[in-house]
């Protein structure tokens, strides 16, 4: 029996998680910890259940911003990487800009963008998410486009294949797993950026705004319920991207 | 030369030579202007249907010569003709099929997809591609693996797919750069048997680069022995141990085979034959 059994792989983490939740609740009750410091998991769960419609609505708003940012940023990243792969000059010119973009805390742009697009629009948040997505997608795609094995390149040459034929049959399929790795990394960044951008203003309704407003009205249980919603949203994005990546890699890894 | 001269090389040669290399040199220029002469004034002809091996130590330019014939590299001096046209024209015309030491299959394509690749690139119809792929799979004995992906196959099987791919467009010339170099000895001998059979069936001329003396002797009509730095042809040894299609496992046990192996080895080492023979007959 080399494969760990189902009990070991699935049950063990669940039991551990339950134990942590119970310990947490036990500690909160036993030491009478004030809810503004840390509410118990039961309170959070209860608030989550009672406000499920609001939490889901918040997830929809923030999720929509993250998704729009993810799609737009990814498309832009892939396109820019393709251009950079074609023209060395552009790659060299873009390198410091991308490096700078990678270290800039992109959410810091949110307040500026709110003034640009108006505090009533979601645009600023989508742009923040898109910018955060752009970097990992661009970097990974560009790397992927450079992974063509010399033997495949020679084979295409021996077949007297045109540039476009070689790109279509070898370069793109080689780059594909790298693109999806970039997208997986970008997926959680999109959610985080869209959410944190809400902390700096803009319309109400999203998870970020809901967390701050609940906390400022001393509704700590509810604030944590929204945090739980954010975690779920992040996981949904990440798992979806991971599943797509796995699907793509199944045949392109070797 | 005491090698059996059963030299009947098929039809009267009124067609152009498969490969004609005249006074070919290839000089690589390094970073600081330092030059390396990979090939120095090499001349070689390969007749249609003939199997010619290039053998020699590392750095003797045998792979360079093959790459030049394939037009994957450009000579510094000299000329190459493939079926009477320039190497470039031959490549554009797809006059040759090629196989490398690595199978170089596309991992995201099935075995069939890989074999169909050259046909697809050159605009063959779907039905024609499928029919040809089925034929080739049968030829290399991989019909059961048509829908498998390369990473599901052993090294030997991958190499057979690569050979099938090289044969896809029925080229009259096959260029092979140590195609069995990465295989274990057992698989290697089996692949050699298959290659001899395939060549018998297709009648293609072959230029075959190898490190292995028995491999060269078993497969070839002629063995071209090369010496390194600068790469030159030291000698050309006619071998041809029996009809191409009929060479089998038992040939490896025959006296003629051993004799040819010894001759190639002596040429390769460039040492006094007597001393070597003494070592070998222990």
Do A184 and A96 touch, CB atoms closer than 8 A? no
- Mutation target to probe the B interface, by most B beta carbons within 10 A, among A148, A151, A155 is A155
* Contacts B118 to A, Cβ<8 Å: 159
Write out chain A's pLDDT in tens, 254 residues. 455 676 677 788 888 888 998 898 888 888 888 877 788 888 888 888 888 888 888 889 899 999 999 999 999 999 988 888 887 777 778 788 888 877 777 778 888 888 888 777 788 889 989 998 998 999 999 999 888 888 898 888 888 888 888 888 888 888 988 999 999 999 988 999 988 888 887 788 888 888 888 888 888 888 888 998 999 999 999 999 888 888 877 765 44
Helix residue ranges per DSSP H, chain B: 62-69, 87-92, 111-121, 126-139, 155-167, 185-202, 213-219, 255-269, 273-280
- Measured CA to CA in angstroms, residue B23 lies from A117, A172, B36, B180, B273 at distances of 72, 41, 17, 29, 29
CATH of the domain at B191: 3.40.50.300
Would the CB atoms of B108 and A151 count as touching at under 8 Å? no
Structure confidence at residue B4 (pLDDT): 43
- Measured in angstroms, the CA of B107 and the nearest CA of chain A are apart by 6
Structure confidence at residue A66 (pLDDT): 92
- Measured CA to CA in angstroms, residue B98 lies from A216, B51, B160 at distances of 72, 14, 12
Average pLDDT over residues B6-12: 44
Would the CB atoms of B107 and A252 count as touching at under 8 Å? yes
Average pLDDT over residues B145-160: 86
- Measured in angstroms, the CA of A252 and the nearest CA of chain B are apart by 5
Q: Would you call A21 an interface residue with chain B, using a CB distance cutoff of 8 Å? A: no
Do B230 and B40 touch, CB atoms closer than 8 A? yes
Would the CB atoms of A160 and B70 count as touching at under 8 Å? no
Total count of domains within chain B = 1
Q: Is A203 helix (H, G, I), strand (E, B) or coil?
A: coil
Domain contains B51:
yes
A40-252 CATH: 1.10.3720.10
Do B97 and B168 touch, CB atoms closer than 8 A? yes
Nearest residue of B to residue A163, measured between CA atoms? B121
Nearest to B218 by CA among B193, B183, B255, B186: B193
Burial class (CB in 10 A: 0-12, 13-18, 19+), B187: middle
Average pLDDT over residues B21-46: 83
Structure confidence at residue A119 (pLDDT): 75
The beta-carbon neighbor of B94 closest among A155, A160, A251 is A160
pLDDT at B190 over 90: no
Strand partners, B86: B81
DSSP string, B22-77: EEEEEEEE-TTS-EEEEEEEEEEEE-TT-EEEEE-STTSSHHHHHHHHTTSS--SE
Pairing of strands B51-55, B222-227: parallel
Domain contains B30:
yes
Would the CB atoms of B118 and A251 count as touching at under 8 Å? no
Nearest residue of A to residue B152, measured between CA atoms? A254
ipTM of this complex: 0.77
Which pTM does this prediction carry?
0.74
Domain contains B228:
yes
Q: Would you call B182 an interface residue with chain A, using a CB distance cutoff of 8 Å? A: no
Do B51 and B244 touch, CB atoms closer than 8 A? yes
Nearest residue of B to residue A173, measured between CA atoms? B108
pLDDT tier at B277 (50, 70, 90 boundaries)? very low
Do B168 and B159 touch, CB atoms closer than 8 A? no
Residue boundaries of the structural domains of chain A: 40-252
Q: Show which of residues 63-102 on chain B sit within 8 Å of chain A, judged by CB atoms.
A: 70, 72, 91-92, 94, 96, 98, 100, 102
Average pLDDT over residues B108-121: 88
Domain contains B224:
yes
Would the CB atoms of A254 and B151 count as touching at under 8 Å? yes
Task: Work out the percent of chain B whose per-residue pLDDT is above 70.
Answer: 88
Q: Is B238 helix (H, G, I), strand (E, B) or coil?
A: strand
- What are B43-76's pLDDT values in tens digits? 888 888 888 999 988 878 888 888 888 888 888 8
Do B219 and B179 touch, CB atoms closer than 8 A? no
Range of the domain at B188: 13-60+181-282
């Amino acid at each position: 029996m080399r494969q760990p059994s189902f009990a070991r792989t699935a049950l063990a983490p669940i039991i551990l998680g339950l134990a942590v939740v119970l310990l947490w609740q036990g500690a909160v009750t036993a030491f009478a910890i004030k809810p503004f410091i840390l509410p118990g998991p039961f309170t959070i769960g209860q608030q989550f259940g009672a406000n499920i419609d609001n939490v889901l609505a918040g997830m929809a708003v923030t999720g929509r911003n993250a998704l729009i940012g993810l799609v737009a940023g990814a498309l832009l990243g892939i396109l820019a990487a393709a251009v950079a792969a074609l023209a060395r000059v552009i790659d060299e010119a873009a390198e410091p800009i991308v490096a700078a973009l990678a270290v800039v805390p992109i959410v810091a742009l949110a307040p500026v963008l709110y003034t640009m697009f108006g505090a009533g629009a979601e645009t600023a948040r989508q742009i923040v998410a898109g910018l955060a997505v752009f970097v990992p997608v661009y970097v990974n795609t560009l790397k992927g486009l450079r992974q063509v094995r010399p033997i495949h390149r020679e084979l295409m040459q021996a077949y007297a294949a045109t540039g476009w034929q070689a790109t279509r049959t070898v370069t793109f399929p080689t780059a594909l797993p790298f693109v999806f790795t970039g997208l997986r990394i970008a997926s959680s960044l999109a959610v985080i950026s869209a959410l944190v951008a809400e902390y700096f203003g803009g319309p109400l309704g999203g998870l970020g705004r809901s967390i701050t407003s609940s906390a400022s009205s001393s509704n700590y249980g509810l604030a944590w319920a929204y945090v739980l919603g954010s975690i779920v949203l992040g996981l949904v994005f990440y798992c979806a991207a991971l599943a797509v990546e796995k699907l793509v890699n199944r045949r392109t890894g070797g | 030369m005491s090698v059996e001269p059963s030299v009947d090389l098929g039809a009267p040669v009124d067609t152009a030579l498969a490969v004609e290399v005249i006074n070919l040199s290839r000089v690589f220029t390094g970073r600081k202007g330092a030059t390396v002469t990979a090939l120095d004034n090499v001349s070689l002809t390969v007749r249609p249907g003939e199997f010619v091996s290039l053998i020699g130590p590392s750095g003797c330019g045998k792979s360079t010569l093959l790459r030049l014939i394939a037009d994957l590299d450009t000579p510094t001096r000299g000329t190459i003709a493939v079926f009477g046209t320039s190497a470039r024209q031959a490549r554009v015309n797809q006059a040759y099929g090629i196989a490398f030491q690595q199978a170089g299959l596309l991992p995201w394509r099935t075995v069939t997809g890989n074999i169909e690749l050259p046909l697809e690139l050159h605009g063959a119809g779907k039905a024609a591609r499928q029919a040809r792929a089925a034929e080739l799979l049968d030829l290399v004995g991989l019909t059961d693996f048509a829908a498998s992906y390369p990473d599901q196959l052993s090294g030997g099987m991958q190499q057979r797919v690569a050979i099938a791919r090289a044969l896809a467009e029925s080229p009259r010339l096959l260029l092979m750069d140590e195609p069995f170099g990465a295989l274990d000895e057992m698989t290697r001998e089996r692949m050699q048997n298959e290659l001899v059979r395939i060549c018998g069936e297709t009648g293609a001329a072959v230029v075959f680069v190898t490190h292995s003396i028995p491999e060269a002797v078993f497969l070839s009509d002629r063995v071209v022995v090369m010496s390194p730095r600068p790469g030159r042809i030291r000698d050309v040894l006619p071998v041809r141990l029996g009809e191409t299609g009929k060479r089998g496992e038992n040939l490896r046990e025959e006296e003629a085979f051993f004799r040819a192996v010894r001759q190639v080895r002596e040429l390769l080492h460039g040492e006094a034959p007597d001393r070597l023979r003494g070592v070998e007959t222990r």
